[in-house]
Chains A and B, each alone.
Chain A
Amino acid sequence: DTGVSQNPRHKITKRGQNVTFRCDPISEHNRLYWYRQTLGQGPEFLTYFQNEAQLEKSRLLSDRFSAERPKGSFSTLEIQRTEQGDSAMYLCASSISPGDGAFFGQGTRLTVV
């Protein structure tokens, strides 16, 4: 499978715990995006990497959220001190150029209890 891969697919965690998600983009794609989607809503932008550089972050992104892409390949998204409001589907996407559109993984569904 040469698509965008996300792990885990599901995560249930207790409020206050830290969680980390991983995204493996399509191999030749240097652009990587994280989005969050809640029920009934469209995907909401979180952050963008070009190679290993984080070039854009949503102003709505809490400082409990951090993302890395250390070698310009896979990326991780960490949420510290999770809250119930963090429960959502976290989507990763990659692209090779802006005009190609972004290709999405299947997402990680986070449930904070």
Chain B
Amino acid sequence: AQSVAQPEDQVNVAEGNPLTVKCTYSVSGNPYLFWYVQYPNRGLQFLLKYITGDNLVKGSYGFEAEFNKSQTSFHLKKPSALVSDSALYFCAVRETTSGTYKYIFGTGTRLKVLA
């Protein structure tokens, strides 16, 4: 069964510093991997995805993520954090081979960027 783990409930980082939000996954086949961001009382907003190919994928607002198959990880990164990046971040996985259609989400990581 597919699953996603986000080991940190909250990540604090100073503005201008690099940030990393961690995600590990478990699937039986090849994964599709995604990051979403959620602002208060809003739906989820798509940030980036990994389907195949280059392990480093770039997305919206300067975010990028690195796919590591051996470690089954897909960590979200940004070289220089902004206060406006403060939000709830969700990692999601979709299996490509099991016949299931659903995206499975992690429990979320709250990012706080301090001025």
Residues of A within 8 A of B (CB): 4, 6, 31, 33, 35, 40-45, 48, 50, 55-56, 58, 91, 93, 98-107, 109
Binary interface encoding of chain B residues 42-74 relative to chain A, with 1 for a CB under 8 A from any of its CBs, else 0: 111110010100000000000000000000000
Please name all residues of chain A whose beta carbon is closer than 8 Å to the beta carbon of B4 when the two chains form the complex. Answer: 42
Whole-angstrom distance between the Cβ of B86 and the nearest chain A Cβ: 17
Interface size on B, residues (CB 8 A): 25
- Which B residues between 22 and 52 are near A, CB-CB below 8 angstroms? 32, 34, 36, 41-46, 49, 51
Select B102's contact among A6, A50, A56, beta carbons within 8 Å. A56
A44, B43: Cα distance in complex, Å:
13
B-side residues, CB < 8 A to A, are 4, 32, 34, 36, 41-46, 49, 51, 90, 92, 94, 96, 100-108
Docked-complex contact B107 and A98, CB < 8 angstroms: no
Taking CB atoms, residues of chain B closer than 8 Å to A104 are 36, 43-46
Task: Given A99-B51, A103-B46, check contact A41 B107 (CB 8 Å).
Answer: yes
Q: CA A105 – CA B38 in complex, angstroms?
A: 11
Q: Which residues of B contact A44 (CB under 8 A)?
A: 105
Contact flag A98-B32 (CB < 8 Å), given A43-B90, A103-B46: yes
- For A55, the chain B residues whose CB sits under 8 A away are 101
Q: 5 A–B contact pairs at CB < 8 A?
A: A4-B43, A35-B105, A42-B108, A103-B46, A105-B43
Give the complex CA separation of A102 and B96 in angstroms. Answer: 15
Bound-state Cα–Cα, A48 to B102, Å: 7
Which of A40, A50, A105 is close to B101, meaning CB atoms less than 8 Å apart?
Answer: A50
Residue of B nearest to A43 (CB): B105
A residues near B41, Cβ cutoff 8 Å: 109
Pair B46/A33 contact, Cβ less than 8 Å: no
Which A-B residue pairs are the 4 nearest by beta carbons?
A42-B105, A104-B43, A45-B102, A104-B44
